[in-house]
């Protein structure tokens, strides 16, 4: 796991599935590779106490981000389960496994998680990408999405629950029912990824990470918390928390210093009412 210091306040953790414990694999990397990295990722967060830690998950094999679960292995598991006579009532208790914990870690940590999608990203691989805060894909001859319906199955690692929260129920229902994966450009148009770039996805993700690192870690954490929970929080409760966190940030020294600096610039031009780094706000 590579760790790069972007500036005195920021560390970048690159989860490269080709390195570390998964180098013995010869097939394109599956969700199991992400599971193997979960403990290492958690240790990295504890070890690096810098105010901002941005995570990039990037593919470990040429042409792949994260491969779907092995259909052959799933078939063997299914045959064994059927032979056992075990059944799954709809109200059975759900116990998440290590893959679920890996996705929960991405969603719950206070730091932004960016998926740099550099190749095939299907089924469980795409479900992992859905747990990341931002998804940047590079253009190419590969597919993104949830094709499980073509096997008589359904997405089993959060796809039916996360995708509707991201692109809306009608669009998610169409995509999952059809089971037809999309090209990177189509995925951007449909909202499955935030951007598709003609260059390297990791380069664009690094650019975004550097821009985010210019913000305060407190504002990033509160924004992620509020937006992540918005669809499941009653509006009145969400508005109250938003206002309280806004006021909490207002009196912090970093915010006061930035507001003071802005006021001293005495900006009057409407086109410069908010100063941003233009380079980080453009696409290709």
* Tokens standing for residue 108: 């719950």
> What's the CATH number for 2-212?
3.90.226.10
Q: What would you report as the CA-atom Rg of the chain, rounded to the nearest whole angstrom?
A: 21
- Measure the CA–CA gap between 201 and 119, rounded to whole angstroms: 10
Confidence band of 282 (pLDDT split at 50, 70, 90)? very low
- Measure the CA–CA gap between 248 and 250, rounded to whole angstroms: 6
Residue 27, pLDDT above cutoff 80: no
pTM of the model: 0.81
Confidence band of 280 (pLDDT split at 50, 70, 90)? very low
Give the DSSP per-residue string, 220-268: HHHHHHHHHHGGGS-HHHHHHHHHHHHHHHHTSHHHHHHHHHHHHHT--
The per-residue pLDDT for 247 is 97
Q: List residues with catalytic annotation.
A: 127, 148
Q: Provide the phi-psi class of 191: left if phi over 0, else alpha when psi is between -120 and 50, else beta.
A: left
Confidence band of 10 (pLDDT split at 50, 70, 90)? low
- Measure the CA–CA gap between 95 and 92, rounded to whole angstroms: 9
* Tokens standing for residue 94: 């759900």
């Amino acid at each position: 796991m590579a760790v790069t210091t972007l500036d005195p306040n920021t560390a970048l953790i690159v989860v490269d599935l080709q390195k570390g414990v998964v180098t013995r694999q010869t097939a394109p990397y599956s969700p199991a590779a992400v599971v193997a990295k979960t403990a290492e990722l958690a240790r990295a967060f504890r070890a690096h106490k810098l105010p901002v830690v941005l995570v990039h998950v990037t593919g470990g094999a040429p042409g792949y981000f994260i491969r779907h679960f092995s259909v052959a292995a799933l078939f063997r598991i299914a045959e064994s389960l059927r032979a056992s006579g075990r059944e799954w009532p709809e109200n059975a208790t759900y116990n998440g496994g290590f893959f679920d914990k890996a996705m929960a870690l991405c969603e719950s940590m206070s730091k932004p998680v960016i998926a740099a999608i550099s190749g095939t990203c299907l089924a469980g691989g795409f479900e992992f990408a859905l747990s990341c805060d931002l998804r940047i894909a590079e253009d190419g001859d590969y597919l993104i999405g949830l094709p499980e319906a073509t096997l008589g199955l359904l997405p089993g690692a959060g796809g039916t629950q996360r995708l509707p929260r991201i692109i809306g129920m009608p669009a998610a229902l169409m995509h999952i029912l059809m089971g037809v994966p999309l090209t990177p450009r189509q995925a951007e148009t449909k909202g499955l990824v935030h951007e598709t770039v003609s260059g390297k996805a990791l380069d664009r993700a690094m650019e975004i990470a550097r821009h985010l690192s210019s913000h305060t870690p407190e504002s990033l954490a509160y924004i992620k918390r509020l937006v992540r929970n918005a669809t499941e929080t009653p509006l009145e409760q969400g508005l109250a928390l938003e206002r309280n966190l806004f006021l909490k940030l207002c009196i912090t020294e970093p915010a006061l210093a930035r507001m003071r600096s802005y006021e001293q610039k005495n900006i009057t031009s409407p086109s410069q009412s908010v100063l941003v780094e233009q380079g980080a706000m453009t696409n290709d």
